[in-house]
Amino acid sequence: MSGTVGTVPNVLPARIEPMLCRSARPFDSPAHLFEVKWDGVRALAFVEAGQWRLQGRRRAGLASRYPELALLARLPSGTVLDGELVVLQPDGRPDFAAVVGRENGSAARAADAARLKPVVYVVFDLLWERGESLLARPLRERRQRLHACVAGLDPRRVFAAEGVEGAGLALFAAVQQRALEGVVAKELDAPYRPGERSAAWQKIKALQSVHCLILGFEPAGDDDFRSLIVASDFGGELRCVGKVGSGIGEAERRDLRARLFTRRVARPLLDAGMPGVWVEPGLYCTVQFLERMPSGALRAPVFVALHDGSDS
């Protein structure tokens, strides 16, 4: 693929593991940069000798799926960027289902997909510049160089993520108001640590909560369960919204086992669209989640608390 060829060809590593985040709660700190956590697919872009390639967390060779990002080849040879591939809705919020569809779509149909659901590459770090590794440099320097690096590209396809220093609580409140995924806090003086999950980068997710009816459970052997099958209101009707297994502590699991296995019935209250063991109505739980999928299913559900009919 043609583009501006820099002066340092064939020096980049074949792969760089992306730096990872620890979970945290909202906070303010003058030592941190706070950014919106973009809800998309993580990708590192490598530009060398007029060619470009994309590496995801699980696989490489993603460039053929995103022909609309061919403008990356114009960057100087020896450039490596870290960022997120997102598909934006008309209101500017990310459409996670759409970008997952792009990632898993056929490379043969990439041109059509790029026209119908184009991605934007939101870049938040510069790892190599003109053949020089910046991994050991502090984030504040890498960010400054990043903005200069991508300034000449079409911002409808590639742009540098904005951030605020210090005011993490205010940004988190704004993110919650817009129903975005969350915030990432990054130490301004920290180097880039490939593959490492450290306190230098912290993710703060803006979770939503919903009150769910327990329809049944996915069994694990004869006397335990793997996950709960739950329903909640969606579009004015009670609908199965998926399974939840994360967040259930051992004491809650014992309580649930005692209740679930004594309330078994032959059929669920409504069609769950999945196999399971069903229980009579009357058990409820609070579930936190990131977002509702178009089907009504809860994305990344986490169990919070159990309720029975008397406290629902």
What are the residue ranges spanned by the domains of the chain?
20-205, 208-308
Radius of gyration of the chain measured on its C-alpha atoms: 23
Q: Determine the 3-state secondary structure of 136 from DSSP.
A: coil
123 in Cβ contact with 131 (< 8 Å):
no
Averaged confidence pLDDT in the chain: 91
**Under CATH, to which class is 208-308 assigned?**
mainly beta
β-bridge pairing 208-219 and 197-205: unpaired
The pLDDT of residue 121 is 97
The pLDDT of residue 6 is 39
Closest Cα to residue 195, out of 7, 16, 17?
17
113 in Cβ contact with 102 (< 8 Å):
yes
The pLDDT of residue 91 is 86
DSSP string, 81-98: EEEEEE-B-TTS-B-HHH
**CATH T-level fold of 20-205:** D-amino Acid Aminotransferase; Chain A, domain 1 (3.30.470)
Which residues are bridge partners to 82 per DSSP? 44, 125
The pLDDT of residue 57 is 85
Q: Which residues of the chain have pLDDT under 50?
A: 1-8, 310-312
Q: E-assigned strands of the chain?
A: 20-23, 29-36, 41-48, 51-56, 79-86, 120-129, 132-133, 158-160, 163-166, 182-187, 197-205, 208-219, 225-234, 237-244, 264-265, 277-279, 283-289, 291-292, 298-299, 302-308
271 in Cβ contact with 176 (< 8 Å):
no
Q: Determine the 3-state secondary structure of 308 from DSSP.
A: strand
Task: List active site positions.
Answer: 37
pTM of the model: 0.73
